Chain A
Amino acid sequence: MSQQTHRISGGLIDRSSTLEFTFNGKKMQGHPGDTLASALLANGQRLVGRGFKYHRPRGIFTAGSEEPNALVQLRSGAHQEPNTRATVTELFDGLTATSQNHRGSLEFDFMAVTDLLSPFLSAGFYYKTFMWPKAFWEKIYEPIIRSSAGLGSLSMQEDPDIYDKGFLHCDLLVIGSGPAGLAAALSAARSGAQVILADEDYHAGGRLNAETYDIDGISGSDWAAQTLAELSAMDNVRVMVRTTVYGAYDHGVFGALERCTDHLASSDGKPRQVLWRIYSKRSLLSAGATERPIAFGNNDRPGIMLAGAVRTYVNRYGVSPGKQVAIFTNNDDGWRTATDLAAKGVDISAVIDARDIEPPASVHGAAVYMGSSVVDTAGRKGLRAITLASGERLEADCLAVSGGWNPNVHLTCHQRGKPQWRNEINAFVPGSTLPAGMRVAGAANGALSLGAALRDGTDCATSIMADLGFKSKASKAPTASDEAHASSAYWHVPESRPRAWLDMQNDVTVKDIKQSFKEGFRSVEHLKRYTTLGMATDQGKTSNIPALAIMAECTGKTIPETGTTIFRPPYTPIPMGALAGRARGKDFRPYRLTPSHKWAENNGATFVETGNWLRAQWFARPGEKGWRDSVDREVEMTRASVGICDVTTLGKIDIQGKDAAEFLNHVYTNAFLKLPVGKVRYGLMLREDGIAYDDGTTARLGENHFVMTTTTANAVLVFRRLEFARQCLWPGLDVHLISTTDGWAQFAVAGPNSRNLLSKVIDAPFDLSNDAFPFMACSELTICGGTPARLFRISFSGEMAYEIAVPARFGNAMMGVLMEAGKEYDAVPYGTEALGVMRIEKGHAAGNELNGQTTALNLGLGGFVSKKKDCIGKTLSQRPELNRDDAIRLVGFKPVDHSQPLLAGSHFITKGDTANMANDQGWMTSVAYSPTFGHSIGLGFIKRGHERKGEIIRVVNPARNIEVEAEIVSPHFYDPEGGLQRG
């Protein structure tokens, strides 16, 4: 068991309780309130990982979500989570963490040899080396580079956690609960507005918990706790800790990730994380600022940290990251680290300030070096000493570095806003173009003192409340001092000889930036991509600004002229699982079940996805050896007697109004005005460009009442287009539409015994005889003693057939009733395969033929385009190119050798011609083995097909190297005269 050797007094941790955890198997202890990082530091564990490229020892660098170094793997088994920042991982009892990116132990990483090769591994090295031989890149070089560079590893198992999504609405979203955010939330909440206050931390208060400020005479962290308590007690406020607002989207919409159970040992069946979509009328960004480092030689050793982070560990966690701390700063704020540490009794070896000015404070017992700098450090696995520009060597096991603070402008830029440079603070602040409804307050807006942040937050909230029409109670900002924060533009130590790190996550050095400049890179976007600066989990939160300052130095431009790379969501990484939410596995998208699904399940159906629907594909019977056995039997038994198929999935659109028939005339190519009541007509729709779109039947149930069917695939799209036609093109027509696809369960009853079967089901006195109810008749009626139903005498199979519709809730029972009534006729249920075989035998076009490239002429339906009236697509369907003499036509094909199968997708080549694209005559669209004819049959498009019946053509499939000869025949293989369906 390791000891908490670096634990000191104070902090917002609960010392009455002890949490046990392991790091690389080593047992350690911490307290509630600790992060993994603070607990590791408390246990004296400075080395926590290895660098990305050179495998150099790395430690904890920050105390927040900007952490570039301390990435660890959490948990185990399927719950294993790589690349977790130790600095934001809340400690829980039983936590297990391991370090990443090393071979052998963390202390002795064999891959550290890459550090010796560093002269060959500079920026863009993989673009320049490993060029030969060419084939080696993919097979040898790249796999080696990938496995030696890199971060953590995935469990390779399915994510066992649950994720959820949610929606929230508010008047004001406050992003960040530091002093500005708390002051603003309080002011807005007291006005009665609906307020959401979100913070990525689990302990609201921002820097107030990390500093030793006073507000209104009490400590800053106490003020934060009091304010939070008041907010939490109000009904109109929702305080969301552990919630990162990661993206600003259009019109006040924000994305936020709430980590609900990451701080617990187990999710216990609850969602681990929730992805929120927050709709706000106004937003206030009070996300604070992020400290930036200064680059100097060997500045990446464990023990070198940001100065503000050192204060956080000391003040918030009661942990001193070192026993002997040196401070290197270019600004006044860095001195706070010295005074805070001195107040806690931590030994300070030196304060080094790059500015040659009077020391802004005096620190007891510390040597002060003004106008000096750190040029090198020593200590392989942890800092031991630092070397100053003067050559003087000082002992230190912790070096606190401050290069000033960058306002967290990220969310202000998600709508393409550009930050602007402010010289007084040597930093970018939000620009003038902000996302709609957004204001920025506090350090995020460049108000870097506490007093200013509190005033800024209060003022912003007051003006937002007035803007939204809330009666704002005159609220006075809490008072606090305006501490000194003067800074200087000092980015790296020029006297430094060894490599100076900028981006520790991607191992980018000052030299890499200079080299990129020498190689001609000027734009920061190019610089980023060439050096990988600012990529990966931290997105360069600590490194980008110093790097572009150095780029500016190289080019001789100013920093604002050089500009920043574009900030994009997310602010911090979002797990894929959270983005997926519950849309995974079979719930990836909604699926729909047909009304007779249960019956089909109980009767051996195999299901197939058609669009969102699960449809019965065939119904296997015992003894059948494969799907073909079942499908052939279903076709044979249907043609011999009667078969039943659930066809509910076809789109159904109820069309009513006194202009309904005229409306249909506009959308269908053929005429509907004179369709008699009680009759059904086939209809063809075109796109406005003249290409065939969809087909189906439309029944006239009344003078002003039609029911249209569409193909399954286009049910939603056709309805959308009809509404477009109704509202946008012919708004004067009296017609209304409603989709009734889900309202009616519909069954095809097909085969010579279909009438006999149905007559047992329908209620008297309905007359089903051929005279009373002929082919293409339709009627409303009742069945089974009063159940309302609709009957259509239509046929897709070519048999005498009906489709009967009942309210959907009766669908499953209806299937049973039909099968029971059909027992004496050996009725069979059939699935989509048999349906497809029979439609090919009958020569009906379906999706393969209506493929978005074919015209009515191509389909052999030219006669359906009425010459007497306009319809959608008519004008452009008359274009000469679509009406060439050698246009493709839909015909049938049968193999000359009946034992040979035809293949869909094959192309047609005239006998004697070479099989190439120049000689292409067309292609096969649909094929099936026809049990009715005992051989394979096909439908396809071929040039002048209608004139070529009897010709033997080559059916060529170069992809599979198959060729057969086939005879061109009528597409209507089965009962071409149609006697059966009229029978």
Chain B
Amino acid sequence: MIINHPLLGPRDAAEFVYLGDAALIDRPDPEAENADEQFYEYGYLRDNPAGAHQELWYHEQGDRSWLVVTRDTLTHEITGVKLARDEAKKRGRNK
């Protein structure tokens, strides 16, 4: 596979390490009332869609960017690549 890195252009997937669902960005608030429940879901429950999936890839053999890659799990077609840092900020993680 080839991942079109937002900063470095198309790079072979072999340069990356795969982590999984980009929902891992959404770490729950430990101060929330049901934080234990939220952390349980965060830690253990994942969607496993057949089709478009947002997932985290780490450019370990490159610039060490974490990326959010939108990949079709049926065809491997990649329809979007963003810096995870930008995505995390967009999702309200500004601290």
Chain A: residues with CB nearer than 8 A to chain B? 249-253, 279, 415, 436, 688-689, 716, 720, 723-724, 727-733, 870, 874-876, 878-879
Residues of A within 8 A of B89 (CB): 731-732
Can you name 7 extra interface pairs (CB under 8 A) apart from A250-B1, A724-B66, A728-B84? A688-B43, A689-B44, A723-B66, A727-B83, A730-B95, A732-B94, A733-B95
Residues of B within 8 A of A415 (CB): 75-76
Q: How many A-B residue pairs have CB under 8 A?
A: 80
In angstroms, Cα B11 to Cα A423, docked, is 43
Whether A723 and B58, one on each chain, are in contact in the complex, defined by CB atoms closer than 8 angstroms, is yes
Per-residue 0/1 for B49-84: is the Cβ within 8 Å of any A Cβ (1 yes, 0 no)? Answer: 000000010101000111000000001111000011
Whether B1 and A876, one on each chain, are in contact in the complex, defined by CB atoms closer than 8 angstroms, is no
B: contact size bracket: 35 or more
Whether B30 and A876, one on each chain, are in contact in the complex, defined by CB atoms closer than 8 angstroms, is no
Whether A875 and B2, one on each chain, are in contact in the complex, defined by CB atoms closer than 8 angstroms, is no
Whether A728 and B43, one on each chain, are in contact in the complex, defined by CB atoms closer than 8 angstroms, is no
Whether B58 and A876, one on each chain, are in contact in the complex, defined by CB atoms closer than 8 angstroms, is no
In angstroms, Cα B95 to Cα A729, docked, is 8
- Please give the distance in Å from A859's CB to the nearest CB on chain B: 20
In angstroms, Cα B67 to Cα A723, docked, is 11
* A728 touching B85 in the complex, CB below 8 Å, given contacts A251-B76, A723-B58, A876-B43: yes
* A878 touching B19 in the complex, CB below 8 Å, given contacts A730-B95, A731-B89: no
In angstroms, Cα B71 to Cα A434, docked, is 18
Which residue from chain B places its CB closest to the CB of A717 in the assembled complex?
Answer: B17
- Please give the distance in Å from A685's CB to the nearest CB on chain B: 15
Whether A727 and B2, one on each chain, are in contact in the complex, defined by CB atoms closer than 8 angstroms, is no
Whether B24 and A251, one on each chain, are in contact in the complex, defined by CB atoms closer than 8 angstroms, is no
Residues of B within 8 A of A689 (CB): 43-44
Residues of A within 8 A of B78 (CB): 251
Residue of A724, A729, A731 most packed against chain B (CB within 10 A): A731
In angstroms, Cα B30 to Cα A728, docked, is 16
What are 27 of the A-B contact pairs (CB < 8 Å)?
A249-B1, A250-B1, A251-B2, A253-B1, A688-B43, A689-B44, A720-B60, A723-B58, A723-B64, A724-B19, A724-B24, A724-B58, A727-B65, A727-B88, A728-B24, A728-B88, A730-B93, A731-B85, A732-B93, A732-B95, A733-B95, A874-B30, A875-B30, A875-B36, A875-B39, A876-B43, A879-B36
Which residue from chain B places its CB closest to the CB of A252 in the assembled complex?
Answer: B2
Residues of A within 8 A of B58 (CB): 720, 723-724
In angstroms, Cα B88 to Cα A732, docked, is 9
Residues of A within 8 A of B44 (CB): 689
> Across chains A and B, which 4 residue pairs bring their CB atoms closest together, nearest first?
A870-B30, A251-B2, A732-B94, A250-B1
Residues of A within 8 A of B64 (CB): 723
- Please give the distance in Å from A295's CB to the nearest CB on chain B: 38
Whether B76 and A250, one on each chain, are in contact in the complex, defined by CB atoms closer than 8 angstroms, is yes
Residues of A within 8 A of B85 (CB): 727-728, 731
Which residue from chain A places its CB closest to the CB of B17 in the assembled complex?
Answer: A720
Chain B: residues with CB nearer than 8 A to chain A? 1-2, 12-13, 17, 19, 24-25, 27-28, 30-31, 35-36, 39-40, 42-44, 56, 58, 60, 64-66, 75-78, 83-85, 88-89, 93-95
Residues of A within 8 A of B19 (CB): 724
- Please give the distance in Å from A583's CB to the nearest CB on chain B: 14
In angstroms, Cα B72 to Cα A251, docked, is 12
Whether A731 and B43, one on each chain, are in contact in the complex, defined by CB atoms closer than 8 angstroms, is no
Which residue from chain A places its CB closest to the CB of B87 in the assembled complex?
Answer: A728
In angstroms, Cα B75 to Cα A723, docked, is 29
- Please give the distance in Å from A315's CB to the nearest CB on chain B: 42
Whether A878 and B36, one on each chain, are in contact in the complex, defined by CB atoms closer than 8 angstroms, is yes
* A731 touching B42 in the complex, CB below 8 Å, given contacts A251-B76, A253-B1, A724-B19: no
Residues of B within 8 A of A253 (CB): 1-2, 12
In angstroms, Cα B44 to Cα A731, docked, is 23
Whether B25 and A729, one on each chain, are in contact in the complex, defined by CB atoms closer than 8 angstroms, is yes
In angstroms, Cα B65 to Cα A720, docked, is 10
In angstroms, Cα B52 to Cα A736, docked, is 32
Which one of A279, A729, A870 lies within 8 Å of B93 (CB-CB)?
A729
- Please give the distance in Å from B83's CB to the nearest CB on chain A: 8
- Please give the distance in Å from B35's CB to the nearest CB on chain A: 5
Whether B2 and A250, one on each chain, are in contact in the complex, defined by CB atoms closer than 8 angstroms, is yes
Which residue from chain A places its CB closest to the CB of B66 in the assembled complex?
Answer: A727
In angstroms, Cα B89 to Cα A251, docked, is 30
In angstroms, Cα B95 to Cα A879, docked, is 26
- Please give the distance in Å from A436's CB to the nearest CB on chain B: 7
Which residue from chain A places its CB closest to the CB of B77 in the assembled complex?
Answer: A436
Which residue from chain A places its CB closest to the CB of B94 in the assembled complex?
Answer: A732
- Please give the distance in Å from B44's CB to the nearest CB on chain A: 8
- Please give the distance in Å from B2's CB to the nearest CB on chain A: 4
Residues of A within 8 A of B2 (CB): 250-253, 279
Residues of B within 8 A of A732 (CB): 89, 93-95
In angstroms, Cα B35 to Cα A878, docked, is 11
- Please give the distance in Å from A741's CB to the nearest CB on chain B: 14
Residues of A within 8 A of B65 (CB): 727
Which residue from chain B places its CB closest to the CB of A249 in the assembled complex?
Answer: B1
- Please give the distance in Å from B26's CB to the nearest CB on chain A: 9
Residues of A within 8 A of B77 (CB): 436
- Please give the distance in Å from A699's CB to the nearest CB on chain B: 22
In angstroms, Cα B56 to Cα A879, docked, is 27
* A731 touching B93 in the complex, CB below 8 Å, given contacts A875-B30, A875-B39, A876-B40: yes
Whether A688 and B88, one on each chain, are in contact in the complex, defined by CB atoms closer than 8 angstroms, is no
In angstroms, Cα B67 to Cα A902, docked, is 49
Residues of B within 8 A of A252 (CB): 2
Which one of B25, B42, B60 lies within 8 Å of A728 (CB-CB)?
B25
Residue of A250, A253, A716, A733 most packed against chain B (CB within 10 A): A250
Whether A688 and B1, one on each chain, are in contact in the complex, defined by CB atoms closer than 8 angstroms, is no
Which residue from chain A places its CB closest to the CB of B4 in the assembled complex?
Answer: A251
Whether B27 and A729, one on each chain, are in contact in the complex, defined by CB atoms closer than 8 angstroms, is yes
Which residue from chain A places its CB closest to the CB of B58 in the assembled complex?
Answer: A720
Residues of B within 8 A of A716 (CB): 60
- Please give the distance in Å from B22's CB to the nearest CB on chain A: 9
- Please give the distance in Å from A198's CB to the nearest CB on chain B: 20
In angstroms, Cα B1 to Cα A875, docked, is 37
Residues of B within 8 A of A727 (CB): 65-66, 83-85, 88
Which one of A250, A731, A874 lies within 8 Å of B88 (CB-CB)?
A731
Residues of A within 8 A of B75 (CB): 415
- Please give the distance in Å from A748's CB to the nearest CB on chain B: 29
Which residue from chain A places its CB closest to the CB of B74 in the assembled complex?
Answer: A416
Residues of B within 8 A of A279 (CB): 2, 12
Which residue from chain A places its CB closest to the CB of B93 in the assembled complex?
Answer: A731
In angstroms, Cα B61 to Cα A120, docked, is 58
In angstroms, Cα B56 to Cα A250, docked, is 18
In angstroms, Cα B75 to Cα A251, docked, is 10
Residues of A within 8 A of B31 (CB): 870
In angstroms, Cα B56 to Cα A198, docked, is 36
In angstroms, Cα B35 to Cα A492, docked, is 71
Which residue from chain A places its CB closest to the CB of B31 in the assembled complex?
Answer: A870
Which residue from chain A places its CB closest to the CB of B75 in the assembled complex?
Answer: A415
- Please give the distance in Å from A326's CB to the nearest CB on chain B: 49
In angstroms, Cα B75 to Cα A249, docked, is 11
In angstroms, Cα B89 to Cα A796, docked, is 41
Which residue from chain A places its CB closest to the CB of B67 in the assembled complex?
Answer: A727
- Please give the distance in Å from B70's CB to the nearest CB on chain A: 14
In angstroms, Cα B76 to Cα A688, docked, is 29
Whether B1 and A251, one on each chain, are in contact in the complex, defined by CB atoms closer than 8 angstroms, is yes
In angstroms, Cα B31 to Cα A724, docked, is 21
Whether B35 and A875, one on each chain, are in contact in the complex, defined by CB atoms closer than 8 angstroms, is yes
Residues of B within 8 A of A688 (CB): 27, 39, 42-43
Whether A728 and B95, one on each chain, are in contact in the complex, defined by CB atoms closer than 8 angstroms, is no
Whether B93 and A876, one on each chain, are in contact in the complex, defined by CB atoms closer than 8 angstroms, is no
In angstroms, Cα B17 to Cα A252, docked, is 21
- Please give the distance in Å from B10's CB to the nearest CB on chain A: 8
- Please give the distance in Å from B38's CB to the nearest CB on chain A: 8
Residues of A within 8 A of B28 (CB): 875
In angstroms, Cα B13 to Cα A436, docked, is 16
In angstroms, Cα B43 to Cα A724, docked, is 15
Residues of A within 8 A of B94 (CB): 731-732
In angstroms, Cα B2 to Cα A279, docked, is 9
